[in-house]
Amino acid sequence: MKQFKLSTSLFLLGILLLFPTISAVAQGIIPKPHTVVYRDGQFKIDNETRLYSNLSRKNLKTMRYWLGEVTSAPLKKTRTRNGNQIIRLIQTGKPNEMNTVPFNRYLQGYTLDVSERGIEILSPSKAGLQYGLQTLRNLTAVDGTVRYVHIEDTPRFAYRGMMLDCSRHIWTTDFIKKQIDMLVRLKMNRLHLHLTDEAGWRIETKHYPELTEKAAYRTTSNWEQWRATGMNYCTKDTPGAYGGYYTKQELRDIVRYAAERGVTVIPELEIPGHNNEVTSTYPQLSCTGERASDLCIGNEKSFEFIEGVLKEIMDIFPSEYIHLGGDEASGKNWLTCERCQKRMNDEHLQSKEQLQAYMMKRVNAFLNRHGRKMIGWDEITTGGTPDGAAVMAWRGADMGFKAAKDSKVIMSPTECYYLDYFQCNPATDERGQLGYTPLKSAYKFDPIPIDYQNKPEAKNIWGVQGNLWTERVDTEERAEYMIYPRLFAVAEAGWSSPARDYSDFKTRALGLIARMKRDGYAPYDLQNELGDRNESTSAVVHDAIGKPVTYLSPCSPRYAGTGNGTLVDGKMGDWSFKDNGWQGFIQAGRLSIVIDLQKEMDINNVSADFLQFRGPEIFFPAEVTVAVSTDGQNFEEIDKQTFKDDSTRYFVRPYTWQGKAKGRYVKVTTRAPKQGGFIFCDEVMVNRRG
């Protein structure tokens, strides 16, 4: 029997012509299976099809839920495995292995075979059978036909997750369950709930009831407006109050719903920073006795609070891992707090980073005594990573590889997996913040690039996670718009082989998006994606390309582009200020450079593009000055332009001078607006052509 590999676009085109209905469905499989071998022939699920399984009644109930997404046929159960019109769901693993399924990628794998004998899915675990059913769902045409196929599939990583920020905006339990269903469709198995932060406390707690009475509600739903007007909390009955919290029963219901579908819910309790809501309610837990972001580490009451809340959290969430935050604590008050300084002296700690590490290690030990472990953002590696803790690397993949020398790591870098970032032109998309992460950028990220695949730390890359922070995400439709389809890319990185083919992936993504819309989701309109900034997709020609540049004021090391040649490389930047096409300037003088054209020439135009993005404090210059020189010492000013402050949140605009001048050296200087901030430029052009 002739066999075909699902590997090339030519093959896919041929199959599409032969089996248009089945093939069109099959192309939508995300994440892409590892091995797919098609055969001639097809099986049809109909009213005569029977179901055989060795699963318990309880576990089979969940499988029937997903089978209902595949077919409307009744699928009466049969006790015999033999026959030709049977769907077989067979768990092959041992009972003593089941507790390790979330941590063992091999136990999550499955084999799917469709032949004249029917459909058979084999897996060591219930989770693997469920993943096999998701693949079957994608392969099955509307009329119930499935082409003969053999699939062998195992995830690349054991941890494949999504984080939902429930503090900045709170989400209904129905919405959370809806996202759990999509996680299952994407073969993802972790849901990380960010439940505590300054924007609102979201967990019912019997020991500290005032947290839900006084810190679960704020004076407006608009997070930015709330921040700008004093970050005031209020009670539920205050006019205009926004917020709420999850009761213990609601959280248990979410945990149960997720567990039935093979998804582990990981709660996050933020310590020691991001605690304004806690210290607003219990100011004695801060260093100053007033509201502050950081808990007082020198105060034993802080540890009593943390341990008391964690006991209640552990009673709700059976997850082996509890997320303890650990990010963005300023530690400023610790340096002047008598209790913190005494703690540092008593424990022989030399820095505020070591003081924070003391807290994280102590709370980690508390979790360990209760049979749990901690996850923390990558700041927990500063000052010493707690024993056995997993690190969530958000400040770049390099932080992840560094942490992986000693710890399990979940890759969640901002530039790829922060789902709150813009996914199209920021000037036309008010839904995003900070960076620009289109689907293409999320997809191209490899958690273990080829340079690291043979290094010892590669074995400690536990998995991947996409994060939706919700400062600017305030409706369910907006949340889904930001999550999908970029979460598809996270799912594929977590499951499929490291080989990348964006064109193939985008085709599959469009198919899944269409089905999601029919199912009531509101994903981003990838079909009409605006794409990259046009200017960044082709080279620009001018006389300064490749010429030496002297920086009279250095660019920020964080935003250095590709180095000293960035501003004269003939390449324009993309929408993101983090794109290597841009350089950012923050020191006194801001952008101030001299370009050596290496010979005297006529100069008839000088231009440069500048970016404004008010969120991260990047502003268009208040003034741009251009001067020329024949000797590099004595400069003659040929233009000075001033610009009024523009309140527009985001734009890229040019500065341009046209006229007649002569010289070898061109000096371009800028002045920052009164509010300061960065100045970003992507290219300084002399005698631009075209």
For the annotated catalytic residues, the residue numbers are 197, 274, 328
Q: Cβ distance 581 to 571 under 8 Å? A: yes
Distance, first Cα to last Cα, the chain: 59
Q: How far is CA 478 from the centre of its chain?
A: 16
Helix (H, G, I), strand (E, B) or coil at 596: strand
Q: Is 596 exposed, middle or buried (0-12, 13-18, 19+ CB in 10 A)?
A: middle
Helix (H, G, I), strand (E, B) or coil at 305: helix
Phi, psi of 82 (to 5 degrees): -85, 155
Q: Cβ distance 325 to 293 under 8 Å? A: no
Q: Cβ distance 610 to 585 under 8 Å? A: no
Q: Cβ distance 162 to 487 under 8 Å? A: yes
Strands 623-629, 650-671: pairing kind: antiparallel
Helix (H, G, I), strand (E, B) or coil at 488: helix
- Among 474, 507, 460, which residue's Cα sits nearest to residue 488? 507
In this structure, what DSSP letter does residue 436 have?
A: B
The string of DSSP letters for 622-682 reads SEEEEEEESSSSS-EEEEEEE------SEEEEEEEEEEEEEEEEEEEEEE--TT--BEEEE
Q: Cβ distance 410 to 392 under 8 Å? A: yes
Alpha helices in 273-326 (DSSP H): 276-281, 300-316
- CB atoms under 10 Å from CB of 644, counted, come to 7
Q: Is 637 exposed, middle or buried (0-12, 13-18, 19+ CB in 10 A)?
A: exposed
Token code pair at residue 588 = 């006194």
- CB atoms under 10 Å from CB of 351, counted, come to 14
- Sign (positive/negative) of CA torsion 430, 435, 436, 439? negative
Residues 497 and 329: their CA atoms lie apart, in Å, by 37
- Please calculate the CA angle 102-105-110 and round it to the nearest 5 degrees: 105
**What residue has token string 């046009």?**
534
Q: Cβ distance 511 to 523 under 8 Å? A: no
**What residue has token string 């582990």?**
264
